[in-house]
Structure 1
Amino acid sequence: MKFEEAKKIMDEKLGDWKIMALATSVDDYPMVRNVSCLFYHDKIYFKTDKNFRKTRQLYENPRVAMCWNGVQVEGIAAIKGLVIEEEGRIFEQLYKKFLWQSYNAYSHEDTEILVEVTPKFVEIWDEDENRNAFQLFLDFDTEQVEYKPYD
């Protein structure tokens, strides 16, 4: 399987948005919590308050893992500034479109920052049309993919 085919499977599974588990760690102290994610420009974006513990952790260690329904993403997080400062305000528009309740309840313009996650390695668990399980391993740096049947 080619890298672009595997990436398409990932993109179809994730769609436009998902609530994903985000794992961070500093000094061997791991934490996990859910974040509302949007997918565009081949990256994962979420917002958070600049004063939260996860934000402090991201500054200290930008390596993260994220998971949703058989798709695990390992990547590097970058804090991009306030949500309202994003050029074109893409995140804000998509967040309003797909996550209106959260947008309406939790959009604090002066403290909400945008976090961009660049995928480095992705593991996907899936089944083929005959319900045979398999794993896909996508290396984004080398654009290599490994298909591994699971029995």
Structure 2
Amino acid sequence: MNLFNDKYNAFLTGFGQGRKMVLSTSENNKVSSRMMSVILINGEFYFQTDVTMKKYHQLKFNKNVALCIDNIQIEGVCEEKGHPLDNDLFCDIFQKCFKGSFDAYSSLKNERLFCVKPLFVERWIYSNSIPYIEIFDIENEQYSYKKYLGL
């Protein structure tokens, strides 16, 4: 039994197939964030964007990104994967989770698919009003769950 794998797989299962998340990107020491429709495929996070958007240029300059939703922070490395319609699995899940966005944008010529490989995940969990920090160090396959002491 591997504690890291068990806990991380439970986290991914609980995450679900698709969520609206904040994506943060940066270029030349300037960070920007925006809401994105994101889906989960085999432990990696996928989204699409237009090549004329600021975030596209930031991603080409710096592949290090962060995703955030509720009490979950994810740091990872982002890679362009081509046109969204060239990835059948992405299309199936994205259309199911975000049909309006799929119909409006996925077939546009300038649209590109990106994949975020997570390297680090941090989640705050409250149990009986007591804060705990759960950390998944994916690169080193290490898991921790510690009470926040706030010293």
- Same fold, TM exceeding 0.5? yes
Gaps of 5+ in 1: none
> Which residue of 2 is the match for residue 23 of structure 1?
24
Instruction: Provide the C-alpha distance between the structure 1 equivalents of 2:70 and 2:13, rounded to a whole number of angstroms.
Output: 12
Which residues of 2 match residues 63-142 of structure 1 at below 5 A? Answer: 63-86=64-87, 89-128=88-127, 130-142=128-140
Per-residue deviation, residues 9-44 of structure 1 (Å, max 9, x unmatched): 421442111010001111110000011000011100
Instruction: Provide the C-alpha distance between the structure 2 equivalents of 1:43 and 1:107, rounded to a whole number of angstroms.
Output: 19
Gaps of 5+ in 2: none
Q: How much has 1:103 moved relative to structure 2?
A: 1.5
Per-residue deviation, residues 78-98 of structure 1 (Å, max 9, x unmatched): 001111222xx1111111111
Q: CA RMSD in A?
A: 1.6
Per-residue deviation, residues 34-71 of structure 1 (Å, max 9, x unmatched): 11000011100001112211001001000001101111
Structure 2 residue identity aligned to 1:64: V
| TM-score normalised to structure 1 length | 0.90
Q: Percent identity?
A: 30
Could you tell which deviates more after superposition, 113-122 or 12-21?
12-21
Runs of 4+ with >4 A deviation? none
8 Å Cα contact 1:10-1:124 kept in structure 2? no
